[in-house]
């Protein structure tokens, strides 16, 4: 009997490569979103730190309070500017996750097909070996008789 050969092996390998690429893109998108979140957290922390420092000064001048107010407004404005890019990045992440899951589904479909065909091939091979063993036994039995 011939050895097992999956006719769609090249397609299966291509699907694996496709999934790897989609996973790489997904990880990049996750990293981009994490970077935006890190920048936002850093900005918030700098605002809290500045406010804390100014509140501990003694004596506190009006110009320093005005500078703190301007800094707060600047931080708030930068945070608002970060909302749209983060939302867009999150949408792209969701889209990429969908692409990755679809690539995984297509790969799994081919893997199940290969498993099914291999199981059929094994069954046929086992049947052929059993028939061969039966014929061999019968031939041996006839020679002895």
pLDDT confidence of residue 27:
98
Q: Enter the tokens of residue 145.
A: 């008789």
pLDDT confidence of residue 33:
97
pTM above 0.95, yes or no: no
**Omega of the bond prior to 59 within 30 degrees of 0, cis?**
yes
Q: Enter the tokens of residue 21.
A: 């690429």
Q: Are 82 and 36 in contact (CB under 8 A)?
A: yes
Query: How many whole angstroms separate alpha carbon 145 and alpha carbon 141?
Result: 6
pLDDT confidence of residue 51:
84
Output the tens digit of pLDDT for each of the chain's 145 residues.
789 999 999 999 999 999 999 999 999 999 999 999 999 999 999 989 988 888 788 777 888 888 888 988 999 999 999 999 999 999 999 999 999 999 999 999 999 999 999 999 999 999 999 999 999 988 888 888 7
**Considering Cα of 64, then 69, then 70, then 71, what sign does the dihedral take?**
positive
pLDDT confidence of residue 117:
97
């Amino acid at each position: 009997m011939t050895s097992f050969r999956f006719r769609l092996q090249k397609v299966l390998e291509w699907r694996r490569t496709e999934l790897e690429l989609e996973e790489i893109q997904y990880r990049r998108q996750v990293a981009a979103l994490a970077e935006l979140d890190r920048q936002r957290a850093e900005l918030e922390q700098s605002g809290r730190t500045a406010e804390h420092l100014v509140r501990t000064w003694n004596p506190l001048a009006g110009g320093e309070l005005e500078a703190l107010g301007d800094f707060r407004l600047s931080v708030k404005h930068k945070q608002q500017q970060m909302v749209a890019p983060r939302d867009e990045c999150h949408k792209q992440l969701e889209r990429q996750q969908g692409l990755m899951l679809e690539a995984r589904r297509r790969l799994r479909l081919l893997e199940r097909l290969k498993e099914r065909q291999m199981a059929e091939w094994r069954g046929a091979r086992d049947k052929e070996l059993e028939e061969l063993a039966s014929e061999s036994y019968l031939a041996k039995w006839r020679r002895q008789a």
